[in-house]
Amino acid sequence: MSRRVRRKVARKGKEKLILPSYPEIEEEISVSDRSGFVDWTSLPDDTVIQLFSCLNYRDRASLSSTCRTWRVLGISPCLWSSLDLRAHKCDAAMAASLASRCVNLQKLRFRGAESADAIIHLQARNLREISGDYCRKITDASLSVIVARHEALESLQLGPDFCERISSDAIKAIGFCCHKLKKLRLSGIRDVNGDAINALAKHCPKLTDIGFIDCLNIDEMALGNVVSVRFLSVAGTSNMKWGVVSHHWPKLPNLIGLDVSRTDIGSTAVARLLSSSQCLKVLCALNCPVLEGDVSFAGTRHKGKMLLALFTDILKDIASLFVDISKKGRNVFLDWRNSKSKDKNLDEIMTWLEWILSHTLLRIAESNQQGLDEFWLKQGAALLLNLMQSSQEDVQERAATGLATFVVIDDENASIDCGRAEAVMRDGGICLLLNLAKSWREGLQSEAAKKAIANLSVNANVAKAVAEEGGITILAGLARSMNRLVAEEAAGGLWNLSVGEEHKGSIAEAGGVKALVDLIFKWSSGGDGVLERAAGALANLAADDKCSTEVAVAGGVHALVMLARSCKFEGVQEQAARALANLAAHGDSNSNNAAVGQEAGALEALVQLTQSPHEGVRQEAAGALWNLSFDDRNREAIAAAGGVEALVALAQSCSNASPGLQERAAGALWGLSVSEVNSIAIGREGGVAPLIALARSEAEDVHETAAGALWNLAFNPGNALRIVEEGGVPALVHLCSSSVSKMARFMAALALAYMFDGGRMDEFALVGTSSEGISKSASLDGARRMALKHIEAFVHTFSDPQSFSAAAASSAPAALAQVTEGARIQEAGHLRCSGAEIGRFVTMLRNPSSVLKACAAFALLQFTIPGGRHAVHHASLMQNAGAARVLRAAAAAATAPLEAKIFARIVLRNLEHHHIESSL
């Protein structure tokens, strides 16, 4: 337990008591303070020992240092009979510090080569069982030393990943040193030669369970010499000589269980093994393509012998092992565990079957083979759920991992097979998984939360079931685990659950927001997986207005900015940037936008991330800057941090990128260009050309952001001229007339109107020699005619002749309302214009061009329609600019087009509405 324990001091008579205090039980302590002090050291010894047994070794050691009484109890042999080091780094120093407690250690589980090398420092010479995974780097030397120091070993298991550096020499050492060995299971050995196997046969007379799994070569004839073997697995092993196997192995006098799953064994060898072996009861041949391809063999039966294959009814066949099969069926393993009558031989077979089935089913799930849907739906899911209830912890873990793995059909896109996921849910798998997640065993917690609950929750129906079964509270609790693997997978589960809008509030209520933020601080270094999942979950939660506030209150802004600034892993960077983007996306509804901008280094980090080599990171960083640019202070600070240059460079580089990146790059420039200073800088940096290129994109969303940015840029006459010179008029004309998005068409029309309003661009065009000026003026005249023609056509598309005639003949509210409804562009209500922009449109109402007058009136109508997000703001700006007088003049002008008159009258009514509304 790495958390510092605060200690309260109380007095009981004259004796001073030191009481440990924990944040989780402050309330209980405060209650007890009113009724008397609690002396934790006075708990009965057996109660303390029972509590200690539910802790991992690190927490046991920490609590043992609390007081003298607990220190004595903390070294009780019963607490240190087994040790699981997988979740913790265990080097020689750590092992030496545990040595005094491990004198009577019986069972050890470890992970990785470093832990393997540290085992000898535990000085646990009475070890009976050793189980290791992630063993690729373990060498012959390390394994030889381990077995030489632990001669009492009865069980040695290394896998399921391949033991690439272990050879037959180490297997011989096992035979020479471990005469009491009963079980040996090794995975991925390149070559198991006859000398090694004969050493086992000669020196290990009690060896009854052998597994050489996923090996490259095995001496089949030598295996026929291990007469003590009762259970043998060569699953996944290649290059087997099945003729030799079928001739020699049936002579093994004690062989009752044989596993040849995932090999190329054929029907001839299977038939000979079943017919010739006197003692053989179970032959497991799951996922053997050659055997399965022999259709004529599928129905063959051998009396007293059981064949388990993909084409057999596995659970039904296993039930045939029992004398009374009336109650055995899909829950055969559970029925066996609950059976009151015990049969030692049957128990051995069932225990072995659990192990080999869990291993093979996981391997099949990992390979993601095609054509197994029927097997998974009819048998596989039920088998895994049976195995999840095993008393063997490693079987439970593999079954949970298998459940999570077989439902995933596309790792890259995290696609889940709905039928398989719902099969798990239908058979009660969610409740089983959640019960495993609540286990005090960290290995089970990790696997249940990791590859099961998290993956299954991608399916909306399963996510709902997880939430209804209390899974959110369980995952939020696991996210607080001191075990990084458990916390990481719990965060992954919350990440998937947080996709559903209906679950966000429940996650916050369960304390999930605070737990996720704390995870980032706790594992800020050396935990890329947990950081990515925590940031991803916070990103989803931040999309909700209420939850986003909780994220900020919990310190999420600081945590996410820290990740954006310091983490080098692209997955973490992407999710941190996305979370910051979502926090800043709520506009005026909360203060997070400003808070993110004010966090030290936030904007600089996001600007830097737009230059990442990874597209996802660039996209999310640009999205964050886009959202942040809606705040005036952020906008200027982004520019000061080099945002203009970075975003122009991003826009220039993303012509062939995804629509998402294109949209956000243009959107960020749109946001920055609200400031005229930034707008001019964007133009000078070369931002016009890439925005025009993006305006030609086929994606509707990119149309909107590119047109919006060009609209803002066109406010400046210098930029307007650049747009003309870069071929922007045809691009905007195309948008204005052809885009599927009304919003893109609207902004393209406004950009064109800005460019050709007032003749300011003409002054820039005349700079240079007289001949150049004449040429530019001629070019501008042609562009102007093209632009005005399409602006007019655009406005006409919102001018229904019948409703306009009715409005012209009558000023009745109903007539004006009908015109308003026909002219409404829903998304335009979200636009927020500055006073200068509103003033520009008011001035445009005086333009001699009837087309620009109509366009200006149409724009002002969009900005003031009641219900628009910024309508009141725009109305206030218009009143300050004296717009009412200009609007009345436009509405009454004899020479004004009908559209301009009607739209002006509607805008006047909107101003009256907002004036009345603001005065209430």
How far, in Å, CA of 567 to CA of 579, rounded?
15
Of 320-334, 573-587, 877-891, the least confident: 320-334
Asked if residue 503 belongs to a domain, the reply is: yes
Classify residue 812: in a domain, yes or no: yes
Query: What residues form DSSP beta bridges with 108?
Result: 83, 130
552 vs 34, more confident: 552
Are residues 570 and 496 located together in one domain of the fold? Answer: yes
CB 497 within 8 A of CB 461: no
Asked if residues 290 and 265 have their Cβ atoms less than 8 Å apart, the reply is: yes
- H/E stretch holding 68: helix 68-74
Mean per-residue pLDDT, 113-142: 92
- Residue that terminates a domain, selected from 398, 430, 457: 457
- Give CA–CA dist 635/619, Å, rounded: 18
The whole-number average pLDDT for the span 837-856 is 92
Assigned token pair, 895: 């020479």
Enter the pTM of the model: 0.79
Cα–Cα–Cα angle for 230, 235, 238, rounded to 5 degrees: 125
What are the DSSP E strand ranges found in 86-170?
Answer: 107-111, 129-133, 155-158
pLDDT at 251 (0 to 100)? 94
User: Nearest-CA neighbor of 177 among 204, 156, 157, 155?
Assistant: 204
What single letter denotes the amino acid at residue 480?
Answer: R
Distance CA 266, CA 770 (A): 91
Residue 817 CA to residue 814 CA, distance in Å, equals: 5
| Residue 433 belongs to a domain | yes
CA–CA gap between residue 535 and residue 514 (Å, rounded): 12
Q: What are the phi and psi torsion angles at 611 (to 5°)?
A: -100, 10
Alpha-carbon distance of 842 to 883, in angstroms, equals: 6
Q: How large a percentage of the chain has pLDDT more than 90?
A: 57
For residue 23, pLDDT beyond 80: no
Angle at 594 between CA 593 and CA 600, to 5 degrees: 110
What gap in Å lies between CA 551 and CA 553, rounded to an integer? 6
Q: What is the torsional sign of CA 733, 734, 736, 737?
A: positive
pLDDT at 24 over 50: no
- The CA angle 410-657-575, to the nearest 5 degrees, is 60
pLDDT tens digit string along 628-684? 998 889 999 999 999 999 999 999 999 889 999 999 999 999 999 999 999 999 999
What pLDDT score does 320 carry?
86
Predicted local confidence at residue 763, as pLDDT = 59
Q: Residue 2's pLDDT is what?
A: 30
- Tokens representing 126 are 């009475």
CATH number of residue 588's parent domain: 1.25.10.10
Q: Can you tell me the distance from the alpha carbon of 853 to that of 857, in angstroms, rounded to the nearest whole number?
A: 6
442 and 563 both lie in a single domain: no
Burial class (CB in 10 A: 0-12, 13-18, 19+), 35: exposed
**Is the CB of residue 331 less than 8 Å from the CB of residue 386?**
yes
Same domain, 854 and 891: yes
Q: What whole-number distance in Å separates Cα of residue 409 and Cα of residue 416?
A: 6
**Taking a C-beta distance cutoff of 8 angstroms, is the pair 679, 643 a contact?**
no
**What is the mean pLDDT of the segment spanning 178-186?**
97
Determine the pLDDT at residue 728.
94
Q: Which of 446, 509, 457 is nearest to 479 (CA)?
A: 446
Instruction: Look at residue 919 and tell me whether its pLDDT is greater than 60.
Output: no
Measured between alpha carbons, how far is residue 396 from residues 382, 390, 851 in Å? 14, 6, 74
Could you please report the per-residue DSSP string of 158-199?
A: E-SS--TT--HHHHHHHHHH-TT--EEEEE--SEE-HHHHHH
Residue with structure tokens 């990481």? 488
Whether residues 442 and 560 fall in one domain = no
Find how far residue 547's CA is from the centre of its chain: 18
CA neighbours within 13 Å on the CB side: how many for 718?
Answer: 11
Report d(CA 299, CA 311) in Å as an integer.
9
Q: Which two tokens stand for residue 717?
A: 């006459």
How does the average pLDDT of the chain come out, rounded? 87
Give one DSSP letter per residue of 608-677, joined into a string: HHTT-SSHHHHHHHHHHHHHHTTSHHHHHHHHHTTHHHHHHHHHHH-TTS-HHHHHHHHHHHHHHTTSHH
Distances (CA, A) of 701 to 698, 707, 740, 742, 823: 9, 10, 10, 11, 21
Whether pLDDT at 880 is above 90: no
Domain boundary among 430, 457, 484: 457
Q: What is residue 335's predicted lDDT score, i.e. its pLDDT?
A: 84
Domain count of the fold of the chain: 3
For residue range 265-284, what is the model confidence (pLDDT) as tens digits? 999 999 999 999 989 999 99
For residue 465, being part of any structural domain is answered with no
For the segment 169-183, the average pLDDT, to the nearest whole number, is: 97
Among residues 457, 479, 512, the one where a domain terminates is 457
Residue 847 has φ and ψ, to the nearest 5°, of -60, 140
Contact 281, 321 (CB under 8 A): yes
Query: 430 and 369, same structural domain?
Result: yes
Degrees (nearest 5) of the Cα angle 536, 397, 399?
A: 100
Task: Give the per-residue pLDDT at 100.
Answer: 83
The region of weakest confidence among 363-372, 404-413, 539-548, 578-587 is: 404-413
pLDDT tens-digit profile of 703-730?
999 999 999 999 999 999 999 999 999 9
Q: Which amino acid is at 320?
A: S
What tens digit of pLDDT does each residue of 198-225 get? 999 999 999 999 999 999 999 999 999 9
pLDDT at residue 770, rounded to an integer: 46
Structural domain includes residue 390:
yes
Q: Is the pLDDT of residue 130 over 80?
A: yes
| pLDDT tens digits along 817-834 | 888 888 899 888 888 888
Contact 646, 606 (CB under 8 A): no
443 in the same domain as 370: yes
- The DSSP element (H or E) to which 684 belongs, if any, is helix 676-684
Q: At what angle do helices 556-566 and 602-609 cross, to 10 degrees?
A: 40
d(CA 763, CA 780): 11
Q: Which domain holds residue 569?
A: 470-641
831 shares its domain with 914: yes
Cα-Cα-Cα-Cα torsion 594, 600, 601, 606, nearest 10 degrees, comes to: -20
One domain for residues 489 and 580: yes
The confidence score (pLDDT) of residue 577 equals 97
The DSSP result for 406-448, as a single string, is HTEEETTTTEE-HHHHHHHHHTTHHHHHHHHHTSS-HHHHHHI
Three-state DSSP at 743 gives helix
What is the DSSP pairing of strand 415-416 with strand 408-410? antiparallel
Helix H, strand E, coil C: the string for 498-567 is CCCHHHHHHHHHCCHHHHHHHHHHHCCCCCHHHHHHHHHHHHHHHCCHHHHHHHHHCCHHHHHHHHHHHC
Mean pLDDT of 229-253: 95
Residue 807's pLDDT band (boundaries 50, 70, 90)?
Answer: confident
One domain, residues 495 and 431: no
Burial class (CB in 10 A: 0-12, 13-18, 19+), 396: buried
Indicate whether 285 belongs to any domain.
no
Is pLDDT larger for residue 352 or for residue 434? 352
Q: pLDDT by residue (tens digit) across 387-431?
A: 989 989 889 889 988 888 888 887 666 688 888 888 888 888 888
Decide if 215 is inside a domain. Answer: no
- Cα separation, 855 vs 393, whole angstroms: 73
Average pLDDT over residues 96-117: 89
- Tell me if 860 sits within 8 A of 907, measured CB to CB: yes
Residue 865, pLDDT score:
92
> Higher pLDDT residue, 31 or 842?
842
Question: Residue 496 in contact with residue 463, Cβ under 8 Å?
Answer: yes
pLDDT band at 57 (very low <50, low <70, confident <90, very high): low
Tokens representing 491? 């965060």
Evaluate whether 383 touches 375 at the Cβ level (below 8 Å): no
φ/ψ region of 737 (left if φ > 0, alpha if ψ in -120 to 50, else beta) reads: alpha
Q: Evaluate whether 164 touches 141 at the Cβ level (below 8 Å).
A: no
Residue from 604, 514, 527, 540 nearest 567 by CA: 527
How many residues can be counted in the chain? 920
CB neighbour burial string for 791-814, b if at least 16 within 10 angstroms, e if fewer: bbebbeebbbeebbebbeeeeeee
Q: Three-state DSSP class for 483?
A: coil
Q: Which residue has the tokens 């997640």?
A: 437
Cβ neighbours of residue 269 under 8 Å, at least 6 residues apart? 242, 243, 245, 246
* Ordered DSSP codes for 336-399: HHH-SS--HHHHHHHHHHHHHHHHHHHHHHHHT-TT-HHHIIIIIHHHHHHHTT-S-HHHHHHH
Distance (Å, whole) CA 841 – CA 828: 15
Question: Are 526 and 637 part of one and the same domain?
Answer: yes
**Tens of pLDDT along 468-507?**
989 999 999 989 988 788 888 889 999 999 999 999 999 9
pLDDT in tens, 555-570: 999 999 999 999 999 9
Residues 489 and 599 in one domain: yes
Q: Does 635 lie in the same domain as 508?
A: yes
Q: Does some domain include residue 623?
A: yes
